[in-house]
Amino acid sequence: MYKNIVEFVKDLYPSKEFIPLHAPVFQGNEKKYLNDCIDSTFVSSVGEYVNKFEKMMCDYTKAKYAVATTNGTSALHTALMIVGVEPGTEVLSQALTFVATANAISYVGATPIFIDSAVNNLGMCPESLEEFLNANAQIIGEQAFNKISKKRISACVPMHVFGNPVDINSIQKICKKFKIPLVEDAAESLGSYYHNEHTGLKGDVGILSFNGNKVVTCGGGGMIITNNEQLAKKAKHITTTAKQPHKWEFYHDEVGYNYRLPNINAAMACAQMEQLEGFIINKRQTADAYRKFFSNGNIKFVDESKDCQSNFWLNAVEVESKEARDELLEYTNKNGVMTRPIWRLMTELPAFAHSLKMPMKNAEKYVNTIVNLPSSVRLPK
Q: Identify the pLDDT of residue 112.
A: 98
> In percent, how much of the chain has pLDDT > 90?
95
**Distance of alpha carbon 7 from alpha carbon 300, whole angstroms:** 18
Cα–Cα dist 72/79, whole Å = 10
Name the pLDDT band for 380 (thresholds 50, 70, 90). Answer: confident
Q: Which residue has the higher pLDDT, 381 or 323?
A: 323
The answer to whether residues 86 and 18 belong to one domain is: no
For residue 29, the model assigns a pLDDT of 98
pLDDT in tens, 307-335: 999 999 999 999 999 999 999 999 999 99
**How much is the pLDDT for 245?**
87
pLDDT band at 297 (very low <50, low <70, confident <90, very high): confident
- Both 56 and 14 in one domain: the answer is no
Residue 380 domain-assigned? no
Question: Of 273, 290, 306, at which residue does a domain stop?
Answer: 273
**pLDDT above 90: residue 1:** no
Whole-number Å distance between alpha carbons of 95 and 353: 11
Q: What is the pLDDT of residue 17?
A: 85
Q: Which of 236, 262, 276 is nearest to 43 (CA)?
A: 262
Instruction: Please indicate, yes or no, whether residues 286 and 367 belong to a single structural domain of this protein.
Output: yes
Do the domain assignments include residue 238? Answer: yes
Q: What is the pLDDT of residue 203?
A: 94
Whole-number Å distance between alpha carbons of 94 and 305:
18
One domain for residues 177 and 58: yes
Is the same domain home to 201 and 281? no
Rg (CA), the chain: 21
User: Residue 104's pLDDT is what?
Assistant: 98
Q: Is residue 120 domain-shared with residue 201, that is, in the same domain? A: yes
Same domain? For 13 and 70 the reply is no
- Determine contact, residues 26/380, Cβ cutoff 8 Å: no
Q: Are residues 77 and 196 in the same domain?
A: yes
Q: Does residue 378 belong to any structural domain of this protein?
A: no
- Within this chain, do residues 77 and 207 fall inside the same structural domain, yes or no? yes
pLDDT at 181: 98
46 confidence band (pLDDT: 50, 70, 90)? confident
- 168 in Cβ contact with 191 (< 8 Å): no
- Condensed to tens digits (0 to 9), the pLDDT of residues 147-195 reads 999 999 999 999 999 999 999 999 999 999 999 999 999 999 999 999 9
**d(Cα 280, Cα 277) in Å, to the nearest integer?**
5
What CATH number should be reported for the domain holding residue 198? 3.40.640.10
Quick one: pLDDT band at residue 16, thresholds 50, 70, 90?
A: confident
Q: Where does the pLDDT of residue 52 fall: very low under 50, low under 70, confident under 90, or very high at 90 and above?
A: very high
Distance CA 146, CA 144 (A): 7
pTM listed for this prediction: 0.95
pLDDT at 15: 79
pLDDT range class, residue 247, cuts 50, 70, 90: confident
94-105 per-residue burial string, b: 16 or more CB within 10 A, e: under 16: bbbbbebbbbbb
Please tell me which residue, 13 or 247, carries the higher pLDDT value: 13
**How many structural domains does the chain have?**
2
Q: Last residue of a domain, which of 273, 289, 319?
A: 273
Residues 72-110: tens digit of each pLDDT: 999 999 999 999 999 999 999 999 999 999 999 999 999
Domain boundary among 273, 295, 313: 273
The answer to whether residue 379 sits within a structural domain is no
Query: Both 282 and 329 in a single domain?
Result: yes
Q: Among residues of the chain, what percentage have pLDDT more than 70?
A: 100
228 and 356 in one domain? Answer: no
Q: Report the CATH number at residue 338.
A: 3.90.1150.10
Query: Phi, psi at residue 42, to the nearest 5°?
Result: -90, 85
**Residue 192's pLDDT is what?**
98
Q: Which domain holds residue 71?
A: 30-273
- The pLDDT of residue 129: 98
Instruction: Look over the chain and give the mean of its residue pLDDT values, rounded to a whole number.
Output: 96
